[in-house]
Amino acid sequence: MARDVTIGELAAHVGDEVTIRGWLHNLRSSGKVAFLIVRDGMGQVQGVVSAGDVSAEVWAGLESLAYEASLKITGTVREDERAPGGYELSLSDVELLGPSAGDYPIQLKEHGVDFLLEHRHLWLRSPKQVAIMRVRDEVVKAIRDFLYERGFVNVDTPILTGAIGESAGTLFETEYFDLGSAYLAQTGQLYNEATAAALGRVYCFGPTFRAEKSKTRRHLTEFWMLEPEVAWCDSECNMRLQEDLVCYIVGMVVERCRNLLEDALERDISKLEAVQSPFPRLSYSESIERLQSLGSSIQWGEDLGAEDETLVAQDYDRPVFVYNYPKTAKAFYMKENPEDPRTVLCDDLIAPEGYGEIIGGSQREDDYDRLLARIREEGLPEESYGWYLDLRRYGTYTHSGFGLGLERTVAWICGVPHIRECIAFPRTLNRLYP
């Protein structure tokens, strides 16, 4: 009896007769011999079948097999250096499990991106998309391993929130019974400022929502964000943690996904190998001088736009920190810089090659009066922040944290221009389907 195996397990079955279930990726026939490429999600294998090796019925059935039909193939495993994956099957049976309509929409030819997004549920089967999903999974695993090793506790924060986390401009609002409005979380940070006082080092990692009206290659309305929060950590300590984390993630992905990066994604790995600490650092003021010298019209006080980020990063082969932005350009919770109160103790980490900001972080305002003043200045509803202000009344503490955008990080590592390919089902301004 042939054994059921996956394509990833073929190495252990050379010479054996095995059965594989998967989908037809390609079929060529010379009239006497047919070559089937089958993928099962874990790999691809070529099966070879001669007219005489199978029943007349099976041989005739091959002719009507359509791209992406699901199949059960049985055959003997042979080692073959030339075959993709290194193995080939000499087939003795091909059974059709689920026929595929002859009009499979995604062909080898180039499709427009709207068409592909409309068929995202099928587009995901193609090798490049499979590679991106695998790299994303490795990034997530690397993040969790890194934080676990350093004593961080994962605390999941609510998605339905009563207080505005970042800014009023990009809120998804929904009615919440008799309690008025709830907002989909823009961040879990504020909640983990509470749990960091309970556990010391914490993080949340989950979906985050922003009603971004911009159609850029860096914005989704639903994206995943990793947010560590660390007690007794100042802005300097925060930047070191970010640098260590990013080096760890990139190192792990290069080690574990080298083939995917090189083959399916055609990524220049030397660019990723250059990502070593220390990362260069520019104060916000230095970055403005540099940008102006490069011809940008940016003025002191403004946030860096996407083009400015690309310009600032072009001098470096690894991510660059821009730190201590003006208060007016950043969120209310960031700690005032004692050396220049026009600015706050924060940083953005900007990826090379035009990928822009992948992390935003800061030391948090731990002074009750200053925080309250900032909440008022921003016109935020004070009553929603009572609990948050309490953290400054009962044993306030130096603490910092940051948010790493998962899709932007994956896009940079994979060398994919648009972050919509870095999440299985992207949500954007004009897309809620599939």
Residues 6+ apart with CB under 8 A from 379: none
The option from ligand 4AD, Mg ion, none interacting with 361 (CB < 5 to 8 A, set by class) reads: ligand 4AD
The SS3 of residue 32 is coil
Report d(CA 132, CA 123) in Å as an integer: 12
Task: For Mg ion, give the closer residue by CB, 68 or 309.
Answer: 309
Comparison of 360 and 426: residue with beta carbon closer to Mg ion:
360
State in angstroms the smallest separation of the CB of 428 from ligand 4AD. 9
Site string for Mg ion, 348-367 (x = CB under 5 A): ------------x-------
The site partner of 408 among Mg ion, ligand 4AD, none (C-beta below 5 to 8 Å per kind) is: ligand 4AD
> Distance between CA atoms of 61 and 19, rounded to whole angstroms?
18
CB of 128 to Mg ion, least distance (A): 28
Instruction: For residue 71, report the phi and psi dihedrals to the nearest 5 degrees.
Output: -135, 155
For the segment 181-210, give every residue that binds ligand 4AD (CB under 6 A).
187, 189, 210
CB of 114 to Mg ion, least distance (A): 29
Under rule CB under 6 A, which residues in 140-179 are in contact with ligand 4AD? 166
From 402, 422, 423, 428, residue interacting with ligand 4AD (rule: CB under 6 A): 402
Single out the segment in contact with ligand 4AD by CB under 6 A; choices: 126-134, 217-225, 369-377, 388-396.
217-225
At 259, give phi and psi (nearest 5°). Answer: -65, -40
Which residues sit opposite 79 in a β-bridge?
87
SS3 call for 434: coil
361 binds ligand 4AD (CB under 6 A): yes
Based on the shown chain and the rule CB under 6 A, indicate whether residue 219 belongs to the binding site for ligand 4AD: yes
For residue 43, state whether it binds Mg ion (rule: CB under 5 A). no
Based on the shown chain and the rule CB under 6 A, indicate whether residue 352 belongs to the binding site for ligand 4AD. no
Given candidates 184, 220, 245, 260, which one binds ligand 4AD under the rule CB under 6 A? Answer: 220
The answer to whether the CB of 351 falls within 8 A of the CB of 408 is: yes
> What is each CA distance from 74 to 48, 214, 367, in whole angstroms?
11, 51, 70
Q: Which residues does residue 35 pair with via DSSP β-bridges, in sequence order?
A: 28, 48
Query: Which option in ligand 4AD, Mg ion, none does residue 312 bind, with CB closer than 5 to 8 A by kind?
Result: none
Task: Name which of 88 and 347 has its Cβ closer to Mg ion.
Answer: 347
> In the bound complex, what is the minimum distance in angstroms from residue 190's beta carbon to ligand 4AD?
8
Stretch that binds ligand 4AD, among 72-80, 156-164, 312-320, 355-363 (CB under 6 A): 355-363
Inter-helix orientation angle 284-293/306-313, to 10°: 90
Query: Which whole-number Å values give the CA distances from 216 to 235, 353, 405, 430, in the listed order?
Result: 30, 16, 15, 12
The residue at minimum Cβ distance from Mg ion is 360
Place of tokens 């049985």: 74
At residue 53, φ and ψ (nearest 5 deg) are -85, -15
Q: Does 212 bind ligand 4AD (CB under 6 A)?
A: yes
Any bridge partners for residue 404, and if so which? 226, 359
| Helical (H) or strand (E) element with 377 | helix 368-377
Spatial distance between the Cα atoms of 232 and 199, rounded to a whole number of angstroms:
12
420 lies in the binding site for ligand 4AD (CB under 6 A): no
φ, ψ of residue 218 to 5 degrees: the values are -110, 0
Residue type, position 34, single letter? A
Q: Is 75 in the site for ligand 4AD (CB under 6 A)?
A: no
The SS3 assignment for 267 reads coil
Q: What are phi and psi of 35, to 5 degrees?
A: -120, 120
Site string for ligand 4AD, 226-265 (x = CB under 6 A): -x--------------------------------------
Residues that bind Mg ion (CB under 5 A): 360
Residues that bind ligand 4AD (CB under 6 A): 166, 187, 189, 210, 212, 219-220, 223, 225, 227, 357-362, 401-403, 405, 407-408, 419
